[in-house]
Amino acid sequence: MTRMLIGGLMIMALIGTSLAWGAPRKTTVTILAGLSSTDDGMQEIITKAVAAKYPGITLQWEALGWSDNFHPKMQQYIQTGLPDIIVGKAQDVATYGGQGLLADLKGKKYLTRVLDAAIPGVTIKGKTYGLVYNCLYQGVYYNRKIFAENGLKVPITHAELAKVIGTLKAKGITPFATHMVDTWSIGNMTMQFAINDVFSKTPTWGDQFRAGKVSFATSAAYKKCYEYNKLLFDNTWSRETFSLPQADCDARMVQGLAAMKVSGSWSIQNFMNVDPNFDFGVFPFPNQTGDAKLIFEPNMTWMKSARTKHSAQVDQVFDVLTSDKKAAIAFLNLTKTSSMLKGVSPTFPNPSQKDIDKYAAAGKLIDANSGNNQLQWGGFQDENAKDIASWLQGTMTLKQALEAADSRRAISKP
Amino acid sequence: MRGSNGNAFFKGKKPLPAENPAPGAAEKYTLGTGMIQVLMTLAALLFAAPVFIILNYSFKTVRELYLSNPLALPESFQLGNYISAFKKLDLLTTFTNTFIYTAVTVVVLVMLCGASSWAIARCKNRFFKFSYIYFLLGIFIPHQALFLQIYMIGFRTGLINTRLGVILMYIATGMSFGVFLMTSFMTTVPVELEEAAKIDGCSVYRTYFFIVLPLLKPAIATLTILQAFQIWNDYLMASLFISSQELRTLTLAMQMLFSQQSSDYTTAMAAIIISVLPVAILFISMQKYFVKGMTVGALKG
Amino acid sequence: MRRKSFNRREKLQYLSLVLPGLLLFTIGLILPMFLSFSYSLTSWDGMSAAKPFIGFKNYARFFTDPFAGQAWIFTFKFTFWNTIIQNVFALLFAIALNSAIKGKKIYRTVFFIPCLISAIIVGFIWLRMFINILPALNRFLGTNINFLLFGSGKTVLAGLLLANNWQWIGYWMLIYLAALQSIPGELYEAANIDGATTLGKFRHITIPLLAPAFTICIVGITTGSLKVYELLVTSTWGGPGRASTSIIYYIYNTAISGRQYGYGSAMSIVLVLVLFLVALVQLGFLRKKEVQL
């Protein structure tokens, strides 16, 4: 027992000394990073790049999953003070920017190195709160080989999509790969549909919704978006989809078990992990009017705390981010995403790039924030997704699901 | 010195309930026993299967994971996943941290719970009765739902992002169960021995450290194992109190591997094996005391 | 006179043994609980500085919230089945391991190992079991058993029960085992002399003497199951739809992603009261049984 006591005291002493370590000698810039799993590992690239140019800055990372853990952590920090830098998604600017928590980056030199298209999504009332670093493309990813072998053309209207589905089914190929065990994928797909069918027509739909002028239950367009989920559900492995996680679904897509997947660039890393030679393209999910645009989502966004004590150092970090092209390319190659910096392109082979270029050249791109800045994700869109899942599972009617969204009107504002 | 004498004296007089010959042990190995053996073996195989599957996966490559039969053995026993888990989890740091938090918390918790329970068992006045019930209340409080408040208290007291803060929080949340367990053990501690010590002029503290605590060994083993694996596996408290890399725990480092969009399953499998191993070893090595501890706890609880 | 003052000093010393623990416990757990109550009277979103006072409206809302109702139903079902399955299997296993079979230590270790694994990982493991491993087993055996238990609202409870029981049966088994081993062998010998049957011995000796263990296990499993949360966050995410949303999952989700911290706090206060009540009722009932036996 005495030995245990002494052991305990020794351990205490150990903590004492270890508490004394780590007194910063250089300037330590703290970063809270809400990451997708595809981003994990990027910290090393950024740390190295910053250390090369500004050896006086030490970055202290706190990395966690964006979807599960980022928001709770932000809630904590809001009570007590934010870290110097916050890395999140462009849509977080809408959530946190309006509360005076973030610093305005307007007029900074590094902001001029970012594509102009990325600025409006992170600008609120004339103040720019975020530095968008990369972007994702969302739409229907398809297996080029299957399309070529069956003489299929990229569908533009719903009639054409129905034909594609019909042909695939006749050949015994599952038309859509889906994974619905994680309801966020339902939420993501529904938002993709809504961007082209609702928000591209009525950009202020969310504001009108909150003003009581429109509603889910009475909007024919939004009802259609809900119904597309059913179309997918009826044309996928519906028995398994509610058990299937994303990575497994992507692997099945690569194996040719399904021809299409409503998804985003986050699947590319999975595709390539399983088969580096998988040939795929992307097209926008057809909308009612046949003029759907490919969705681009300004993704990883760097924000600066309004009350940081190391304002100059944060600016230096942002300077490195936008000026070190080698680091930027390494980052894009790791995450398999596209750049939001001027004159920077990733060098990994991306079979869907030619499609992206085609839509970009035709001006057929639309920002995902057109929807995300109208309807809050956490607590609203993800709850709607649960309603849709319940409807697909038969425990709720479509009408009830739409009305449930209306009942959450009060918390729909980002 | 006096303490160890007392201990020896006690040991000779009244042995703790041991894994005594069970009623069945005297019986012969009959046909019925054989059938039980078969059934138990089947059950054990079912219980062990998921663990073997993780172990099997932990040697597979990502391509194998998705393209080959899930039941097949890995093509080669490559250690790539373990190496990548080692790197991704920053194992040297996170392992040491987790170990420190677990070890210190358990040691202090055992002392505090033992002290509180002993006092509660000996002083039967209203205050001590009340504090027993008060401690038990904690068993019903779901601390997941209190996370902002706990964080804010940590912040006000300046304990956020310190080792001390994490440890104190673990102690605070572990008290309830510890007191519950230890109090039920106190009936095995004979009052006569304490009274003899008192007549010899021992203070309450001396009596506690040198007479009572040694008698609580089985309870200590039980509490140690139960708390150790909870703290070792804890995510929530650690995530509330720690933000800097040097202070991170194993589970904090692991959480990215288990998020919704995660795909690095093979590394995750290796990480599971790495994280479970230490507590499994702790359990196996302390099993004897642990079962003894459970015996008393279960009977008197 | 002298004796009394000595006692008082002694009492103070005893008091000083309880106080540190009491203090930590109060600051770390009870104080947050009180804060929770004060938040429960507001419509605070968990972020902004304003915490508008709204009285007991959150509590009123809780009783008419259909999703909260669903969450309660799921939680109660989960708890009910857990309590039965875990107790029965833990007891059966304990009896088996208390017989003359060989290799007891190995069995004990195998059954206990799953509860050393964090519930978050257990959820992840079973998600993989249901979608990859068991269907492969189907193909291997040429059978067509539906293993996709997480995939439908009708079977998700069964799937979670499987995962949860895999994790915890070994733990409660040890408690039963310990209790069985502490029953004095003479009792059985005496019964043998009286010519008692095996079943009779079980009914009249084993069961009554196990009463305290029953109490611990039943109360422990019930309160543990009512608080189920970690298991869900890497396996079903409360789905499909909301089919496996437990009350804590719902509270956490509403308070944090749903940005309704006030409402979430009100729900957690109600949960604590329910947990407390359930335990009190069970304890009262079981302790009474103990005395009768």
Query: Beta A365-367 vs A294-298: how paired, if at all?
Result: parallel
| Rounded CA separation A227/C158 (Å) | 30
In this prediction, residue B220 carries a pLDDT of: 85
Q: Which two tokens stand for residue C162?
A: 């499987």
Q: Is residue C193 part of a domain?
A: yes
CA angle C16, C17, C19 (to 5 degrees): 60
Does the beta carbon of B175 lie under 8 angstroms from any beta carbon of chain A?
no
C 90-119 residues with CB < 8 A to B:
93, 96-102, 105-119
Residue-wise pLDDT tens digits, A222-243: 999 999 999 999 999 988 999 9
Q: Which two tokens stand for residue B42?
A: 């089947």
The most confident of A23-37, B221-235, C150-164, C254-268, by mean pLDDT: C150-164
Position B25 pLDDT exceeds 50: no
For residue B252, give the chain A residue with the closest CA: A64
Q: Which residues of A touch C163 (CB under 8 A)?
A: none
Question: In this predicted structure, which of B159-163, B195-199, B268-272, C264-268 has the lowest mean pLDDT?
Answer: B195-199
Report CB contact under 8 Å: B62, A1: no
For residue C23, give the chain B residue with the closest CA: B172
CB within 8 Å of B74: residues ≥ 6 apart: B56, B59, B60, B61, B64
Tracing tokens 């304490």 back to the chain, one arrives at B194
Reported as half-sphere exposure (CB side, CA atoms, 13 A), residue B235 has a value of: 22
In this prediction, residue B110 carries a pLDDT of: 93
> Domain range for residue C244?
70-288
Asked if A375 and A356 touch (Cβ cutoff 8 Å), the reply is no
| Rounded CA separation A81/B298 (Å) | 47
More confident residue, B224 or B295: B224
Asked if B67 and A256 touch (Cβ cutoff 8 Å), the reply is no
Query: Between the CA of residue A208 and those of A33, A218, B257, what are the distances in Å?
Result: 33, 13, 40
In chain B, the domains with their CATH numbers are 32-77 (no CATH), 81-299 (1.10.3720.10)
For residue B216, give the chain A residue with the closest CA: A1
Report CB contact under 8 Å: A71, C152: no
CB within 8 Å of A225: residues ≥ 6 apart: A190, A193, A194, A197, A198
Q: Is residue C91 part of a domain?
A: yes
In the three-class reduction of DSSP (H, G, I as helix; E, B as strand; rest coil), residue C118 is classed as coil
In this prediction, residue A25 carries a pLDDT of: 58
Asked if B221 and B289 touch (Cβ cutoff 8 Å), the reply is yes
Closest CA to A318 of A137, A167, A131, A141: A131
Per-residue pLDDT in tens (0 to 9) along chain C, 293 residues: 334 445 777 788 888 888 999 999 999 999 999 999 999 999 998 888 888 999 899 999 988 899 999 999 999 999 999 999 999 999 999 999 988 888 888 999 999 999 888 888 899 999 989 998 899 888 888 888 889 999 999 999 999 999 999 999 998 998 888 888 878 888 888 888 888 888 888 888 888 888 878 887 888 898 889 989 989 988 999 989 999 999 999 998 888 888 899 999 999 999 989 888 888 888 888 777 765 54
Does the beta carbon of B108 lie under 8 angstroms from any beta carbon of chain A?
yes
The predicted model gives B142-164 an average pLDDT of 87
Determine which of A9, A21, A37 to mutate to test the interface with B (most B C-beta atoms within 10 Å).
Answer: A37
In this prediction, residue B29 carries a pLDDT of: 79
Report CB contact under 8 Å: B152, A4: no
Asked if A142 and A280 touch (Cβ cutoff 8 Å), the reply is yes
Q: Which residues of A touch B81 (CB under 8 A)?
A: none
Does the beta carbon of C32 lie under 8 angstroms from any beta carbon of chain B?
yes
In this prediction, residue A13 carries a pLDDT of: 53
Element (H, E) at A358: helix A353-361
Does the beta carbon of A243 lie under 8 angstroms from any beta carbon of chain B?
no
Report CB contact under 8 Å: C25, B138: yes
3-state SS, B17-77, equals CCCCCCCCCCCCCCHHHHHHHHHHHHHHHHHHHHHHHHHHHCCCCHHHHHHCCCCCCCCCC
In this prediction, residue C199 carries a pLDDT of: 84
In the three-class reduction of DSSP (H, G, I as helix; E, B as strand; rest coil), residue A290 is classed as coil
Q: How many residues does chain B have?
A: 301
Closest CA to C261 of C54, C47, C101: C47
Q: Is residue C42 part of a domain?
A: no
Domain count along chain C:
1
A107, with CB counted inside 10 A (0-12, 13-18, 19+), is: exposed
The single-letter code of the amino acid at B127 is: F
Distance from C37 to chain B by nearest Cα, in Å?
A: 10
Query: Beta A27-35 vs A57-65: how paired, if at all?
Result: parallel
Q: Which two tokens stand for residue B92?
A: 């040297």
Q: Please tell me which of the candidates A72, A83, A266 has its beta carbon nearest to residue B261.
A: A266
Report CB contact under 8 Å: C14, B20: no
Mean model confidence pLDDT for chain B: 81
| Rounded CA separation A284/A221 (Å) | 17
Closest CA to A59 of A49, A73, A69: A49
Report CB contact under 8 Å: C150, A243: yes
CB within 8 Å of C188: residues ≥ 6 apart: B23, C201, C205
Determine which of A18, A69, A76 to mutate to test the interface with B (most B C-beta atoms within 10 Å).
Answer: A76
Position B4 pLDDT exceeds 50: no
| Domain at C87, CATH number | 1.10.3720.10
pTM of the model as a whole: 0.87
Q: Which residues of C touch B33 (CB under 8 A)?
A: 99-101
A409: left (phi over 0), alpha (psi -120 to 50) or beta: alpha
Q: Is residue C65 part of a domain?
A: no
Asked if A175 and A236 touch (Cβ cutoff 8 Å), the reply is yes
Query: Beta A27-35 vs A85-89: how paired, if at all?
Result: parallel
More confident residue, A144 or C188: A144
Q: Is residue C165 part of a domain?
A: yes
Q: Please tell me which of the candidates A68, A71, A393 has its beta carbon nearest to residue C240.
A: A393
Report CB contact under 8 Å: C256, A396: no
Q: Is residue C51 part of a domain?
A: no
Report CB contact under 8 Å: C21, B113: yes
Determine which of C62, C99, C261 to mutate to test the interface with B (most B C-beta atoms within 10 Å).
Answer: C99
Mean model confidence pLDDT for chain A: 90
Residue-wise pLDDT tens digits, B247-264: 999 988 888 787 766 677
Q: Which residues of A touch C126 (CB under 8 A)?
A: none
A10, with CB counted inside 10 A (0-12, 13-18, 19+), is: exposed
CB within 8 Å of A136: residues ≥ 6 apart: A264, A265, A266, A296, A297, A299, A337, A338
In the three-class reduction of DSSP (H, G, I as helix; E, B as strand; rest coil), residue A339 is classed as strand
Distance from A289 to chain B by nearest Cα, in Å?
A: 32
Count the neighbouring beta carbons within 10 Å of the beta carbon of residue C19.
15
CB within 8 Å of A5: residues ≥ 6 apart: B209
In this prediction, residue A10 carries a pLDDT of: 56
Q: Is residue C263 part of a domain?
A: yes
Q: Is residue C265 part of a domain?
A: yes
| Rounded CA separation B28/B51 (Å) | 33
**A neighbour chains, 3+ CB pairs within 8 Å:** B, C
The single-letter code of the amino acid at A173 is: I
Distance from A251 to chain B by nearest Cα, in Å?
A: 6
Position B6 pLDDT exceeds 60: no
